[in-house]
Structure 1
C-alpha cells in the first residue's frame, strides 16, 4: 500500500464519498440539460415526439416543486429509519458492526441518487424563464427529472429490502466471516510464495514511537523502497489495531539510523485517533465473538445466535492455523526486508475462548459447542505447538464446566459429539 492508495482507501470508506460523486454527476447533468435547452432540444423533440415534452411553464414549475418536496421527505424518512436500525444493531449485536453497515456502498449510492435528483430538479426549476414562449419551457429536462424521481422510488423500494436484510444477524455474521476469511486466505496465499527466512534480531537497535494512537497499517511500498535503498532490514514490533503510547518501542533495525531516515520510516507507519475497522482479520474474530457474547446476555437471551457464531469462528480458526506468526515485505527477487509481527493463533484462540468461557460457562449447549470447535481444530493441526495450545484450552473449558454446571448428566455429555437440534 502506498500513500495514494491509502488516501483513496480512507476517503472511499467515508459515508459521504459516493453521495458526493453522484451528486456532482446530477449537478453536471442539470447544467448539460440547461445548455441543451438553450439549443432548443425541446423544440426539436416536440416535433418528433410531442407526448414526451411538457410545454406549459406553470405545469413544469408545479411538477418540479412537487418532486423536490417529495424527494426531500423521502430522503429524511429513509435515513431516519437507518438511524433506528443502527441503534437496534448496536443494542442487540455490537457497536463495532455499525461501521460496516454505515459504509455499505449500496446505502451510499441510494443517498447519492436522492441528492443528485434533488439538485437536478432545483437547477432545472431555476432555469425556467418567465416567458409565454412554448420553446422556452425546458420540457425535456422536466421529463428527465420525472424519470429520475421514478428511479429514486425504485431505489427506495430496494433500500427498504436491503436494509431489512442487512440488519439480520445471520447476514451480519456472513458478511464479517466472508471478509475476514478472504483477508486470512490472502495472507496465507501470499506467504506460500515467500521464504520465511530472516536474520536473528538479538542485538538490533530499537526505536520508539513518538506519537499516540491506534496503529492500523504500513505504507508497504514506501517502507520497502527505504529498506532497499539503504540496505536495511527492519522488524515492526506493532500489531494492527494496537493502541500505541508515546515511547512504545515501534521497530528494530540491524544497524543504527540517522534522524532523517528514522523519521522517514516513522512516516510509513499509519496511526489514527480512532479505531478503524479496516483490513485487519483480528476485528473479524472480535466482532463475531462480541455478537455471540451479547446474544447470551439476559436482556437478549439468544443462545442460538451464540452457537452460530461458534460455527463461523471454527471456520476462521481453521484458516488462521495455516498462517505464519509473522508477515514479510519482500522484493521482486524474493528477499525479505521487513518482518512484521502479527497476532498469533494462540493469542487469538485464548482471547476468544476466555470470553466465551466467562459468559457462557453456565450453558451446557454452548460449552459443548465450544468443545466441538476445539476438537475440530485438534483434527486439523499443522504442528505440535498448535496441539498443545488446543489441549490447554480444552482443559480450561472442562474446569469451567465442572465448576459451574451442577447437573452430572450434562457434565457427562460435554465431550459428546455436538448434533445441532435447530
Structure 2
C-alpha cells in the first residue's frame, strides 16, 4: 500500500510538469471563488456594505455590466497577445539556439500561473455578469463582487507587465544557459552528496538473472531506496543496467537479479521505474551537457555565426565537467551498510567524448574556440586528483584528438603555431 502511495505521488509530481496543470488548477479555484462570492451576495453582503462602507460597492447596474464586459474582452485580447508573442519567441529560440531548449521555456511555471490567473479572472467576470439581474434594484446587484472583478483586473494588468519583462529576459541565451547550468548543478551536487559506491561491496553480475522492460520511453527516474527494500525482503541484490535519461525500448534488459524473482516481485520492482516521452534536466543532468553543447554548435553554424555565445557555452561546460569529475560512474543503494542495488550512469569518458566530438566537428576551424576548449581541458586536468589516472588519460586523449583535428582544419601557419604553443 505504501509503495502504491509513493507511485501515485511520483505520477502527481510528473503531472505538475504539464503546461496545462497550473492554468487548470487556477481556473478551478477562480470558479470556486465565484460561487463563494455569489453565496455571500445571496446572504446580503452588498446590502450590508452599502449601508456601512458604500465606497466598496458598485451600485449601478449599467456601470457594472459595462465594466465586466470590458474586462472580459480586454483580458481575452491580453491573453491572445501574450501567448502569440510566446510562440514567436519560442520559434526564434528554436531557430537560433536549439529545439531542445523549448520544453524548458514552455514549462516556465511563472508564465503558467499568469495564464491561469487570466483564465480565472475571465471565468469570474463571466459568471458575475450572468448573475446580475436584468431588472434588479441596487440591493440585487452584486456590487461587492464587481469590486473584486476590478481588483482582479488590476492584478492582471500588473501580471501582464511582469510577463512582458519576464519573457524578454527568458529568451536571452545567457539567461537560458544560466538556468540550465543552475538546475544541473543542483542535481549533481545532490547526487554527489548522497551517492555511495564501493567496487568491492558488490559481486560480479555477469551471470545474474535478466529481466526486461515492458515499456518504452526515456527513463526519467529510478526509486533506488524502494527497490533496495524489495531486494532486502527477497534476500537478493539488484543491478540496474539501463542508464537514466536514455531511451529504453521494450524488451531491453532493465535490471538483473542475483536470485530468480517471482512475477509479483518483478512487477513491484518495475513500478519504481518512471518512463516519459520527454527529457527533464531536473531528473537527468546529462541533458544539460547536451543542450549547452547544441547551443555552442548552433552558434558556430554559418547561418548564425555567433562565436561569443559558443565561448560562453564552453565556460558553462567547463563548470559542469568540474562537478562531474567529483561523481562516480556508478552508485549503490545501501540499507544498514549493505548494498542491495547498483545503478550505472553515463560514465565520464562517454560524456566528455560526446561533447568534444560535436565541438571538434563544428568548431575545429576556429582558433579562438579551439583555444577555449584547450583551456577547458587543461583546467579539468588540473583539478583531477593525481591518483585518478583513468580520468587523466581520458582528458589527455581528448586534448590530442582536438589538436589532430585543429591541425587538419586550420590552414594559417601562425594560427596553428599559436594552438600548438598552448598544447
TM bucket normalised to smaller: over 0.9
State the 1:414 CA deviation: 1.5
The question of whether the paired residues in 1 share the 8 Å contact of 2:279 and 2:287 is answered with no
The question of whether the paired residues in 1 share the 8 Å contact of 2:224 and 2:341 is answered with no
| CA RMSD across the alignment | 1.7
Corresponding residue of 1:259? 263
The question of whether the paired residues in 2 share the 8 Å contact of 1:204 and 1:252 is answered with yes
Corresponding residue of 1:400? 405
The question of whether the paired residues in 2 share the 8 Å contact of 1:371 and 1:415 is answered with no
State the 1:195 CA deviation: 5.4
1:147 and 2:178 matched:
no
**Alpha carbons of structure 1 residues 123 and 417: separation in structure 2 relative to 1, 3 Å:** farther
Corresponding residue of 1:84? 88
Give, in whole Å, the separation in 2 of the partners of 1:239 and 1:367.
Answer: 31
1:28 and 2:22 matched:
no
State the 1:44 CA deviation: 1.6
Corresponding residue of 2:59? 55
SS at match of 1:238: coil
The question of whether the paired residues in 1 share the 8 Å contact of 2:180 and 2:281 is answered with no
The question of whether the paired residues in 2 share the 8 Å contact of 1:3 and 1:219 is answered with no
SS at match of 2:207: coil
1:216 and 2:220 matched:
yes
Q: TM-score, with normalisation over the residues of structure 1?
A: 0.95
1:233 and 2:237 matched:
yes
Gaps of 5+ in 1: none
**Alpha carbons of structure 1 residues 309 and 44: separation in structure 2 relative to 1, 3 Å:** same
Where does 1:382-401 land on structure 2 (aligned, <5 Å)? Answer: 382=385, 383-401=388-406
After the TM superposition, which parts of structure 1 deviate over 4 Å for at least 4 consecutive aligned residues? Answer: 274-278, 415-418
State the 1:41 CA deviation: 1.1
Give, in whole Å, the separation in 2 of the partners of 1:335 and 1:119.
Answer: 57
Aligned residue pairs total: 416
Where does 1:267-278 land on structure 2 (aligned, <5 Å)? Answer: 267-276=271-280, 278=282
Residue by residue over 1:191-226, the C-alpha shift from the partner in whole angstroms, topping out at 9 and shown as x without a partner, is 26x656222223322223233332222233432221
Give, in whole Å, the separation in 2 of the partners of 1:416 and 1:51.
Answer: 79
Corresponding residue of 1:103? 107
Give, in whole Å, the separation in 1 of the partners of 2:422 and 2:44.
Answer: 78
State the 1:416 CA deviation: 5.4
Of residues 137, 141, 163, the one that matches 1:137 is 141
Corresponding residue of 2:370? 367
Corresponding residue of 2:384? 381
Once the two structures are overlaid, the 10-residue window that deviates more, 376-385 or 2-11, is 2-11
SS at match of 1:298: coil
Q: TM-score, with normalisation over the residues of structure 2?
A: 0.94
Residue by residue over 1:253-287, the C-alpha shift from the partner in whole angstroms, topping out at 9 and shown as x without a partner, is 11122233223322322223444554100100000
Corresponding residue of 2:320? 316
The question of whether the paired residues in 1 share the 8 Å contact of 2:212 and 2:252 is answered with yes
Corresponding residue of 1:43? 47
Give, in whole Å, the separation in 2 of the partners of 1:140 and 1:188.
Answer: 56
State the 1:26 CA deviation: 1.2
Where does 1:123-202 land on structure 2 (aligned, <5 Å)? Answer: 123-191=127-195, 197-202=201-206
**Alpha carbons of structure 1 residues 38 and 319: separation in structure 2 relative to 1, 3 Å:** same
Residue by residue over 1:372-409, the C-alpha shift from the partner in whole angstroms, topping out at 9 and shown as x without a partner, is 00000000113111100000000000000101101111
Residue by residue over 1:43-96, the C-alpha shift from the partner in whole angstroms, topping out at 9 and shown as x without a partner, is 121122222211111211111111111111111111111111111111111111
SS at match of 2:139: helix
Of residues 63, 69, 93, the one that matches 2:97 is 93
Residue by residue over 1:103-142, the C-alpha shift from the partner in whole angstroms, topping out at 9 and shown as x without a partner, is 1110011001100100111111111112342111111110
Corresponding residue of 1:343? 346
State the 1:188 CA deviation: 0.5
SS at match of 2:383: coil
The question of whether the paired residues in 2 share the 8 Å contact of 1:99 and 1:277 is answered with no
Give, in whole Å, the separation in 1 of the partners of 2:251 and 2:29.
Answer: 47
Give, in whole Å, the separation in 1 of the partners of 2:129 and 2:281.
Answer: 42
SS at match of 1:240: coil
Once the two structures are overlaid, the 10-residue window that deviates more, 197-206 or 282-291, is 197-206
